[in-house]
Structure formats: C-alpha cells, structure tokens
C-alpha cells in the first residue's frame, strides 16, 4: 500500500484555439506550453520500467504543479473574475476539447482503457488535479516500500520515512476534497468514472484511511520485528520480544478503527459507482484495507489485554483479528493447516517477490503482512498459556462486537492550489511575438488522435515529407 495508481495520458491541445485574452494575450500560449510539458512527462513515465518510475515521479509532480496555476487562471478569467489584484479577461472562443485516458475504468483484456473526448475546461481541471493526487499517492508508496526492502532501518529512519509518506497521502486527500468543492466538478453528470463525484469522494476517503493506518506503523515494533525476522541480511540470531506501553496499545487500536471507517466509506462509494465500470482491483484493495485496519485494531486490543495479565482473552482477540482479516481462525500447533493455509503461504511469498522486483506489491492492503504479526504473537502467547498461565480462551465474537469507537489522528488542511506570481502574471500582458512558437511537446499522440497536423502521412511516404505531396484529398485512382 498505498494503491498503485496508473497515471493517465492525454492528447495534444492548443489552448489558444479555444481561449483568447485581451488583458493577458500570452496566457493561452504559455498555458499550452506548460500542458505540453505535462503531456510529455506522462507519456515518458508510461514507457518506463517499474524500477524507473519511482525515480521519475518528482518530474511528473513538477510538471503537473507548474501547469495547475495557468489552468486555474484560465478558468478564473473565463468566469469574469479577477486573479488577486490583477484584472483578467478571458474570452472562450469555443468549448475546449481534450482527451484523457480513463485509468480507473474497466478495460477489455489486452487493451488499454479508453481515452474519450471531453468537452469543457472543468474536465481538464479534474483530470489534471487527479493526476497530481495520484502522483502524491505513488510518492508515498515509493517511500513506504523502503520499510519492506532488504535494508534494516533504524527507528529514526523508519519514523522519517513514514512521516514523508504520510505528508504525501494527506496532500492527495486535500486535492481530492478540493475537487469536490468545485461546483463544476461536483455537478458533472457526463464525466468519466475517474472524475465522477462518488469516485473522487471515495479516493479522498481512501487516502485518509492510508494516512491514518500508517500512523501506528511508526511506533509498532511488532511489524518491524516480523519484517526483520524474514530479512536475509539480518544477522541477529537472538530475538527479544518487543514491548509496547499499555495506554498506547489501546490508542493505536482506536486509530486503526478510524482508518477502517474511512476505508469502509471508500469501499461503499466505489461499489455505488457500479460493478463492471470501475477497476475491480481498486474495489478489492479498499475492502482489504478495511479488513487490515480492523484486524490491526483487534491485535492492538489483544496486546492491551495481554499486558494486563489476561493471556486467554488476548488469544481470543487474536482469533478475532484473524477473522477480521478474512483468514482461518484455527491453527494446528501454531501452524496453518488445510488448503486455505497453503494458499495464504503462497500469496505471502508472491507478495515478497513483488516487493523485491518493485512490482504491484501491497494490493492486499497489508493484510498478509498483518497476518504474520498475529501468528507470531499467537504462537508466543499460546506457548506461554499452555506452560505457565493456563487460562481459558473465551469466544472471540463478543469481543469483536464490543470494539470501541475510532479516534481521528489527522486534521487535514484544505488544499491551496499554486498561484502565479505577480511578476509572471504581469509578463503575460505583452502579446506574443509573431515568430514566437508555442512548445507543443516532443511526444507524439497515441490512441487514434491526429495531433496538431490534422492529417496522416500518405501511404508509402517517408516520415515528415507529407508537404511534398500536392494531393490534399483522397484519390480513387490506382496510379
């Protein structure tokens, strides 16, 4: 986790064909240049290998962040509103037409998702800001992957890594909420599934759930102990059971329950979008994240109970944690049994290989990683209870039903979109020079677009020599 979003790609658009400004004539052309840079960055990012994409994410983030203020300035000026102290007048020649690839919609096997033609500047704003939010989630994902790598991190390094990921997730949450606050976005009925209000609201809840659940990872020694235990580079031959203060264990349980509530909200909103329309992996991930959060909460309540000397009740909480995780409740001498246990072991090994190869790891929402922690504690406590304490293990169902309410940890701040500096804004009052050409990007369009040229090369012609052929209309002649 977080979810591995696929960044969308877009077509080439010359914004000066759709907008004109009397007060700032250079604004449409400058905005086109910034958009072309973003278009190239997204297309180049798509061709990179999974190992190279993590290091390229800051480039995409910079391109999207640089384009947002120009895009919002066009939107503000077209609504006859001023930008700060500046008077901005933007005339809409015709509704802007853009194409963005819908990465959250269901596609046929072996085919890319569709890239529909969208009419209206609000669609352009929604996809641009959504792309920026996806980038922040992917940046958080690339940082959290370090926790499960081969390197053993110190407590300070672990805390710094998690804090950076948390900041990116909260920024993604704020961007999604900002989109919902725009009337043109929240009222759009003809939008693709990616930018519909229900989907954007679900993604906001999902980002907040991810930012909430990793709060406990910073001070959770059990998860770190399990990660180090299966790390081949770890040379420690002796394992000391970690300890955690009692009060914090109960607090962590309530924080996890708050994350579960946000994940439940996201799962319900995604299901409302319609089965068969939205990516099934995203729906499954939201449901698995909910299971992980509730299972982690039950595990912390088990720790809180065991620290009070109630080992039997703690074991019951761990059984409840396994139930919440959707795994087998019973173990045979501390080991998994049956086909379900074999399948779980196979899926865990598969997840480890994905982490090593920078693949799409974490699609289970951390569910199997939490299962390893629960099994470690269950094996340890069961051995102690069988030899020393000998306490009865009560049923876990009443305990799960008596879970406390969730407690929010974060206070998300509203998103403040970047704005143009007064110097940059004033420089666009001058009209563009006649010989000044707008940057249209180095990447060619894909997905059936004609691009800026408006026509394709003649059959058999050398690339770039279309102008040398005088025939401008199709001919029915064979010669």
Predicted confidence at residue 176, as pLDDT, reads 96
Residue-number span of the structural domain to which 299 is assigned:
94-401
DSSP string, 397-419: HHHHHT---------PPPP----
Nearest CA-CA partner of 160 in 172, 150, 148, 146:
146
Residue 319 lies in a domain: yes
Residue 214 lies in a domain: yes
Residue 62 lies in a domain: no
Residue 190 lies in a domain: yes
Predicted confidence at residue 413, as pLDDT, reads 93
Residue 255 lies in a domain: yes
What is the Cα Rg of the chain in Å?
27
Residue 66 lies in a domain: no
Burial 412-425 (b: 16+ CB within 10 A, else e): beebeeeebeeeeb
Lookup result for tokens 């203060």? 245
Task: Domain count for the chain, please give it.
Answer: 1
Predicted confidence at residue 8, as pLDDT, reads 93
Q: What is the CATH number of the domain that holds 153?
A: 1.25.40.280
Close Cβ partners of 44 (under 8 Å, ≥ 6 residues apart): 56, 443
Residue 77 lies in a domain: no
Q: Is 59 exposed, middle or buried (0-12, 13-18, 19+ CB in 10 A)?
A: middle
Q: End-to-end CA distance of the chain, in Å?
A: 60
Give CA–CA dist 479/476, Å, rounded.
9
Global pTM value: 0.84
Predicted confidence at residue 192, as pLDDT, reads 87
- Please report, rounded to a whole number, the percentage of residues in the chain having pLDDT higher than 90: 38
Encode the chain (479 residues) as per-residue pLDDT tens digits: 789 999 999 989 898 889 888 888 888 999 999 999 999 999 999 998 888 898 999 999 999 999 999 999 998 888 756 666 678 888 888 889 999 998 998 877 667 777 888 898 999 999 999 999 999 999 999 888 877 665 667 778 888 888 999 999 999 999 999 999 988 877 777 788 899 999 999 999 999 999 999 998 878 888 767 766 555 554 443 455 556 666 688 999 999 999 999 999 999 999 887 655 888 889 999 999 999 999 999 999 999 998 888 999 999 999 999 999 988 666 555 455 544 555 555 555 655 555 555 556 678 888 888 888 898 888 888 888 888 778 888 999 999 999 999 999 989 899 999 988 888 888 888 887 665 556 666 666 654 443 333 344 455 555 555 555 554 444 444 33
């Amino acid at each position: 986790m977080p979810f591995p979003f696929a960044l969308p790609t877009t077509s080439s658009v010359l914004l000066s064909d759709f907008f004109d400004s009397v007060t700032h004539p250079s604004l449409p052309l400058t905005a086109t240049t910034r958009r072309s840079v973003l278009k190239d960055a997204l297309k180049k990012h798509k061709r990179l290998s999974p190992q190279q994409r993590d290091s390229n994410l800051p480039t995409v983030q910079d391109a999207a962040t640089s384009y947002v203020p120009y895009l919002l300035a066009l939107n503000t000026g077209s609504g006859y509103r001023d930008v700060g102290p500046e008077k901005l007048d933007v005339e809409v020649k015709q509704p802007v037409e853009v194409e963005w690839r819908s990465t959250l919609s269901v596609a046929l096997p072996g085919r890319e998702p569709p890239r529909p033609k969208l009419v209206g500047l609000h669609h352009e704003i929604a996809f641009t800001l959504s792309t920026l939010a996806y980038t922040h989630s992917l940046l958080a994902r690339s940082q959290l992957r370090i926790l499960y790598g081969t390197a053993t991190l110190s407590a300070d390094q672990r805390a710094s890594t998690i804090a950076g990921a948390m900041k990116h997730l909260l920024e993604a949450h704020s961007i999604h909420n900002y989109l919902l606050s725009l009337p043109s976005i929240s009222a759009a009925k003809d939008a693709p599934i990616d930018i519909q209000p229900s989907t954007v609201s679900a993604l906001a809840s999902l980002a907040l759930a991810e930012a909430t659940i990793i709060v406990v990872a910073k001070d959770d020694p059990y998860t770190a102990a399990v990660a180090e235990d299966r790390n081949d580079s770890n040379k420690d031959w002796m394992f000391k059971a970690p300890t955690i203060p009692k009060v914090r264990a109960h607090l962590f349980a309530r924080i996890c329950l708050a994350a579960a509530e946000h994940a439940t909200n996201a799962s319900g909103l995604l299901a409302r979008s319609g089965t068969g329309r939205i990516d099934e992996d995203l729906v499954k991930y939201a449901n698995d994240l909910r299971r992980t959060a509730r299972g982690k909460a039950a595990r912390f309540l088990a720790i809180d109970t065991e620290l009070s000397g109630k080992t039997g009740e703690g074991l019951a909480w761990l059984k409840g944690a396994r139930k919440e995780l959707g795994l087998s409740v019973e173990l045979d001498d501390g080991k998994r049994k049956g086909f379900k246990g074999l399948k779980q072991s196979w899926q865990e090994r598969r997840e480890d290989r994905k982490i090593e190869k920078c693949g799409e790891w974490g699609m289970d929402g951390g569910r199997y990683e939490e299962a390893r922690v629960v099994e470690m504690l269950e094996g340890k406590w069961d051995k102690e209870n069988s030899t020393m304490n000998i306490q009865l293990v009560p049923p876990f169902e009443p305990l799960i039903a008596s879970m406390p309410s969730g407690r929010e940890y974060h206070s998300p701040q509203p998103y403040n979109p970047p704005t143009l500096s007064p110097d940059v804004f004033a420089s666009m009052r001058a009209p563009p020079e006649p010989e000044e050409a707008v940057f249209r990007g180095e990447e060619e369009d894909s997905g059936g677009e004609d691009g800026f040229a408006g026509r394709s090369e003649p059959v058999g012609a050398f690339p770039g020599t279309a102008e040398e052929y005088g025939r401008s209309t199709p001919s029915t002649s064979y010669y």
